[in-house]
Chains A and B, each alone.
Chain A
């Protein structure tokens, strides 16, 4: 029983964090750039 309760608690935390992450990320994307040259990346 204790195992089940612990699993439910962990699952609820994970689902909560996942929901917040998804909501934060699923926002409109900015206008894509159209640059002749571009860096390999940003540190």
Chain B
């Protein structure tokens, strides 16, 4: 006889199941606030444009593929939906995916613990700072991280000779879980790889009814071969999903300036130093990406206390999940199941790997801050170490550790644990409303759309050079928010722009991180070489258009004799060579 399921029971279960996603959506709406209005939210690296063209690779500039395949995915989605709607869906998706994933991974299946995990992982300094730096593509990987951990933990859940179909199913699960990171590109995949590989290597399944984690000295040959298989599957999946950016990166002749280590190292964003900032999940290199008010003693102290409590919770969770797993398997099942651990009985599978990833990520973040010489040496030896210069982004696994620890604490609080879901918001309240206006939606002035239409309709080949020669702009129509030059994303032809990055220091002047792309370096040398005419030299570099923004016509137009003005409107002047 089938058990009778009452309607209230079913609806309660449905509510509990979808509540974390709803919390994520709610937090997303609260955080993005004015950025959800009509138009585009533009800030630092977050540059979306209307009708983005589908351009492969790094757009012909010869630089590293930093926005691959994220820009291509946006372009494809924008064929079906307006680009500003695509942007809002992606940003809200980050919050929903992060919250629901953290809940799915949380210790215990009590709703309070799941909501606490969801709220912590979708509302923290790491997510806020990276969003204010415009790194939505990285955040896709961050949001998918709990799902990737869950899938990687399943890889090692198979004991004995796993059947081919089971391995294929687990592999497919991991690949699906890594899709957000794959869309995000190199940063998102590197962070995911940092977590997925140790989780696959150090976890062990419950399928044989014994302990989850086995000390390495007790491993038999069969254990090692199972782990090796899990790691191999992870490496293959991560490798295949990284191909869109990995291949162009390896083929690129771009270089990485070791000066970037100093520019992009983690920094103190409050009174507790760099290490205190990192432990409280902040410490991003750019002071302009800080959540407003986060540096005050009271806010920073509360944030640090929350992190310490969450870390203590994670240690407690680890002790129960790993060290006590034998008791769980043999005798304690009833006791733990009674405490709401029934569904997540194998939660401890991922704990050792996640802990290792968190420590390793923190180590990478500290490397640039406390031992920059080592990283500079590595980058000088091989530019492939360049992504580690922005080390703070690798503390993502620490965020997940703390979210799980916070959920464990909430689980211990019983019914009061529900209130814990509000704590992350109270600790970082000024992330709300687009961080009080740091994020807001604006529309491009009409001249930008006209220039885009003219250039993209012209069948003549050749690149477009964007002037003035600098990567970032601060337009009044965007509220003075600094953004990467939108011209880099607008045109269906190679766009040559100055990818030199200038980072101001509060003391000691600016740090200039030299341009990476070879073509950009050549064009930059031409522009800086006196005040002579540039037309002939630009034509030799296969340049067809020059776009001059923000009333710099007087500075540049005299340097292009014979060029035909195609459009002069508002703040833009378009020349055709």
Contacts and interface: CB of A to CB of B under 8 A. Distances in A.
Nearest to B427: A14
Interface string B478-515: 11111000000000000000000111111000110000
B78 to A, nearest CB: 26
B380 interface: no
A24 B436 contact: no
B299 A17 contact: yes
A35 B299 CA distance: 33
A41 B550 contact: no
Contacts of B429: 18, 21-22
B462 interface: no
A3 B296 CA distance: 29
Interface string A1-27: 001100100010111011011101110
Interface string A27-43: 00101111111111111
Interface string B384-419: 000000000000000000000000000001001001
Nearest to A34: B476
Interface in B39-75: 44
B138 to A, nearest CB: 16
Contact of A38 (B296, B423, B482): B482
A3 B416 contact: yes
B41 to A, nearest CB: 15
B475 interface: yes
Given A21-B293, A21-B296, A42-B504, A36 B471 contact: no
Nearest to B45: A40
A7 B267 CA distance: 33
B430 A25 contact: yes
B378 to A, nearest CB: 21
Interface stretch (B21-29, B89-97, B283-291): B283-291
A22 B296 CA distance: 12
A38 B382 CA distance: 30
Contact of B298 (A7, A21, A35, A36): A21
B286 A43 contact: yes
Contact of B472 (A18, A34, A37, A43): A37
A22 to B, nearest CB: 5
Contacts of B468: 36-37
Contacts of A21: 293, 296, 298-299, 429-430
Contact of B503 (A3, A4, A36, A41): A41
Majority DSSP secondary structure for residues of B touching A = mixed
B132 to A, nearest CB: 10
Contact of B480 (A7, A11, A17, A32): A32
A11 B418 CA distance: 13
B317 to A, nearest CB: 20
A39 B472 contact: yes
Given A14-B426, A36-B473, A41 B299 contact: no
For chain B, the bracket of interface size reads 35 or more
B287 A42 contact: yes
Contacts of B285: 41, 43
Contacts of A32: 474, 476, 478-481
Which among A26, A34, A40 has the highest number of chain B CB atoms within 10 Å? Answer: A40
A39 B473 contact: no
B470 interface: yes
Among B423, B475, B511, B549, the most chain A Cβ lie within 10 Å of the Cβ of B475
Contacts of B263: 43
Contacts of A37: 468, 470, 472-473
Contacts of B478: 32
B423 A14 contact: yes
A41 B135 CA distance: 14
B437 interface: yes
A17 B293 CA distance: 11
Contact of B549 (A14, A25, A36): A36
A10 B551 CA distance: 54
B416 A34 contact: no
B286 A34 contact: no
Contacts of B293: 21-22, 24-25
Given A3-B416, A7-B419, A18-B429, A40 B472 contact: yes
Max chain A Cβ within 10 angstroms of own Cβ: one of B416, B429, B502, B506: B429
A8 to B, nearest CB: 10
A11 B419 contact: yes
Contact of B436 (A11, A14, A26, A39): A26
Contacts of B289: 41
A33 B480 contact: yes
Interface in B289-341: 289, 292-293, 296, 298-299, 302
Given A33-B480, A41-B285, A43-B503, 20 more contacts: A14-B423, A17-B298, A18-B427, A18-B429, A21-B298, A21-B429, A24-B293, A31-B480, A32-B479, A34-B480, A36-B468, A36-B549, A36-B550, A38-B474, A40-B472, A41-B44, A41-B288, A43-B504, A43-B505, A43-B511
9 contacts: A7-B413, A21-B298, A25-B430, A32-B476, A34-B480, A38-B474, A40-B472, A40-B503, A42-B506
Interface of A: 3-4, 7, 11, 13-15, 17-18, 20-22, 24-26, 29, 31-43
